[in-house]
Structure 1
Amino acid sequence: VYYVSNRVKTIDEAEARVLEAAPEARVGVAHGKMSAKQVEDMMMKFQRGDIDVLVATTIIESGIDNPHTNTLIIEDSQRLGLAQLYQLKGRVGRGRTQAYAYFMFPGERPLTPEATERLTAINEFQELGSGMRVAMRDLEIRGAGSLMGAEQHGNLSSVGFDLFTQMLGQAVAEARGDAADDLAQSEVNINLPADFYLAEEYLPEVDRRVLVYRKLACAMELAEVDALQHECEESFGSLPQAACNLFDRTRIRIRAQRLGVSSVSIANGRIIFQGLKCSRELTLKLKEQRALVYPKTEKVAYPLRRDEAGAVAQALSVLELAGGDDDPEE
């Protein structure tokens, strides 16, 4: 039996409680303030079966493999994180014997909402291979879900999800020694006044939401975006406006990369396309729509109409006009 008490200063009291409950048990203690030799000796005794109950801190959460151990008891489990609880649970059930894990918490004090969610999650995900689902729930409980929603924080708020993902990919490529020039050249900065996210009410499962975000961030073909949108609509119904904007933003990014556009933004009531090379025919079409075309700087300033289409739809229509209505890769 593992008995986890994660406070070194009160671990002797925990040992006394175990001995009071089971006087016949052979009890040992292991914690981080013991020397490495002492901890090793105690673990060897436990592995040989010289100790029945090991009272320990979370020092046992990794690197311990005792197939004969089949019971885990954690006191004050509401103090531990979900990942810690899941890791500790993996210390038992490593052999052929049925294993049991008990997560104890004080009944006289109310649990915080976060602690309740953690304990509910550890109780819910009991089947094999639940690590990914536990990790996603842990992120959701700690607030990472809001990074993908309307409320964003930190670097993600500053640059947006698409650009953040591209920057991260570029950093990984540089760390691996790959050529990062192509990544930098294809980077598109999209700064349009609209919401770009999948609402929790539309797609409740955080792991599914993150999967959609990842697929959109990695999409390089318009057909991929169309197929993913169709899949979402088939499974969850019509897209809300913020989700439509999210998919159209990916279409803008793909078309802009093909046309060599480096940025799409709003300034002085116009949509500014930087790096858009215009043929004579395209220039005439844009000027008919009261756009300003600057051939030397490869800049187009398109008038932002105040209608129901919105800035995202208008920006996409301009890029469709510049690149043709058909996807050249299809």
Structure 2
Amino acid sequence: MRGLFKRTAPAGAPDTAALGTDALALRVPSGTMVPHACIGLACGKGGATRRVEHGARLAAGDSKSAYCFHPGPYSIELTPFAAAPEIGLQLSFVVDDPDPRVAQQRFDLYLASEGGEGVSLAAFALAVDSALQRELAQGNLELPPCTTLDEWNLFRAGLNQLLYQRFGVTVEDCLPVDLGDRVDYAQLLLARAVDVRAKSAVSAPAPSVPALTDAQALRRLFLELPGVTSALRLVALPPGQALFRQHQALLQRLDGVALLFATMPSLELAAPGIALDVASRAARERHSAGAVLALDEAWSLAARFAHAPAASWFDDADRIVANLEHHGAGRRASEHA
């Protein structure tokens, strides 16, 4: 009769053996037992999250979704410059223990907003690569040839803050690596030739992160804009009325943008019972995608709050908020696009 009362996983539960190796997180059904060395996360419909320790049963209740994740450590390889794929970085990172100073951990928000059916290590590496390449291309991070120790330390500090603000992970180590023996240059040149014939940019684009659906984009904006606003609200400003007023104006505009996206119309409907035409639906999707790009830039900007004087990033903040306002207004007004 031994094993009569053995607990079994709920029907349809995913195999959690990949956690900590090939997967950071997996979506699981309510009632799943949190595996050893892992952490459970119940995500509410409004974005609230609750962690559950290993060995306990993850009862999601009225929550929208539930996840199990392994804190790591993990190791990934990055290509900071798309046009120079032989230059690589070996990155080790972990998901830290909860910070008691904040109401919600950034990694928990990342899972609630972007977790989907789970986060594989390969997909996460692609997202990190895309974020890093964008920051280097825009000059927000610098990794020059023959980097000095001071330049490397400055880059590392910026990279650490970027990955914490954008994904909620902490970098443990980062080392340069030569990936030249793994690059298929013939295939790379062929792909670039195709790009040129298609009148694309000659330089290689950022890694191709899968496009979000309109619903996924709106969910990200709904859940993450309050987090961006909170990060901006906590910025320590130097004395002076001018910066204070600019800061307050940005906060008010971000609050307006968050409310705008929280009350967005459905993708399919022009009015209750009236279907939206195809061209207008495409316009709504285009504006949602543009707003998410601005949201990613906002998180990247938040990573610079602690290391750069406020006067140096206010123009960027104004541009990002203006893009969010533009895409929010465009999506709402796209009924007759």
| TM-score using structure 1 length | 0.26
- Larger relative contact order, structure 1 or 2 (CA cutoff 8 Å, min sep 6): 2
Point out the structure with the larger helix share: 1
